[in-house]
Copies of this chain bind each other. A is one copy, B any other.
Amino acid sequence: MPPTTRPTSRDVAREAGVSQATVSLVLGGKWRGRVSPATADAVRETALRLGYRPNLAARSLRLGRTRTALLVVPALTNEYFARVHTGAARVAAAHDFGVVLYPSPEGVGPARDPFGSARAALDGVIASSMAADALAAISGETAAAPRTAGGPGGLPLVMLDSDPAQSGAAATVNLDLASGMRQVTGHLAALGHRRIAHIASAVDSWTFRVRRAAFDAATRDLPGAVVTRRTAALSVEGGLRATHDALTAPGARPTALVCDDDVLAAGACKAARRLGLRVPLDVSVTGFDDLALATAVEPELTTVRLPADEAGARGMAALLAVIDGLSPQQADLPVELMIRGSTGPCPVEPR
């Protein structure tokens, strides 16, 4: 057995009786008219036989490209972001690109430098919503580095669900969250609800700002609407607490709860039931995102389906386009209201 080291292109060349350059040409696929088909076949056969794998570090060094993109998300344990990753990884793999995740379990903070920590050299960055906002702080810090293009560190940057006004992004992929929120409120309004509480995420990111604004705009146009808002930590427990407060506050009790997120909605349902209220008979609840959770709870949640993996896929496609010097196609993805069991007609004589 030859020593522990992996075979290099030179080993293949020696074994096949050609030069290293020829191996590189053949395996790189650019041998048409430069190498005879017979030789090319021989090289390929030898490479296969030796189990040759190109050293990616060397290739990256040579090409100045790493075929690796960084995906910045706040937390993979949030199913939404896991799905974004899935979509992004799928497209990346199809283009022989890799995806590395921003290695921050505890969320993005200005103190951390993603480009020191990210081990691989990167060709581009794709930052999703909540992460993108935090990234803005960092870009100030990294401004000392020569900025040639959009992102921090001079890397092409694509933003998902982020403020289009935000500087630095070469492209943006947005979900039509405002429409989603309008559909939710429209649905509730059609059911007769007027006293509506918004259980909002305490996270101050673009995604949630949009939802809030859309909720406000939609309810403002609704005659007779009485709206309140509670902010909640983004968890079942958080949703439970905020909803409890909303339902027990002095004044007329809301008949509908619009939650920023399915997880919050699950908490809201629990809170309502603990107060002896039936969902949706006494109070209607809506979620957002259409996570697996939405159909796991009872009643199943009326919610807004977000094409998370599609967003990830589009984002990666846009990033690849930018890297290739093309102008990416801006995309705004439609969302869909999923009407399920957690919403119903406004009770005639509430309280």
Contact = CB atoms under 8 A, between A and B. Distances in A.
B98 A118 contact: yes
A60 interface: yes
Contacts of A263: 292, 296
Name the interface size band of chain A: 35 or more
A119 B2 CA distance: 25
A235 B56 CA distance: 38
Interface string A97-108: 111110111000
A4 interface: yes
Nearest to A69: B119
Interface of A: 1-2, 4, 6-7, 48-49, 51, 53, 55-58, 60-61, 66-68, 75-77, 79, 82-83, 85-87, 89-90, 92-93, 96-101, 103-105, 115-121, 142, 144-146, 148, 153-154, 235-237, 263, 266-267, 269-270, 273, 292-293, 295-298
A104 B154 CA distance: 29
B100 A51 contact: no
Copies of the protein in its oligomer: 2
A61 B6 CA distance: 13
B293 A273 contact: no
A295 B236 contact: yes
A115 B53 contact: yes
A196 B260 CA distance: 39
A299 to B, nearest CB: 10
Given A56-B121, A58-B61, A236-B295, 19 more contacts: A1-B148, A55-B121, A57-B57, A57-B58, A66-B119, A68-B119, A75-B86, A76-B85, A76-B86, A93-B105, A120-B120, A235-B292, A236-B292, A237-B295, A263-B296, A266-B297, A267-B296, A270-B298, A292-B293
Contacts of A55: 61, 121
Contact of A77 (B86, B98, B119, B266): B86
A103 B68 CA distance: 12
A20 to B, nearest CB: 16
Nearest to A308: B77
A98 B98 contact: no
Contact of A92 (B56, B103, B145): B103
A296 B298 contact: no
Contact of A53 (B2, B101, B153): B153
Closest 9 CB pairs of A and B: A98-B119, A51-B145, A57-B60, A266-B296, A57-B61, A76-B82, A93-B103, A4-B148, A77-B82
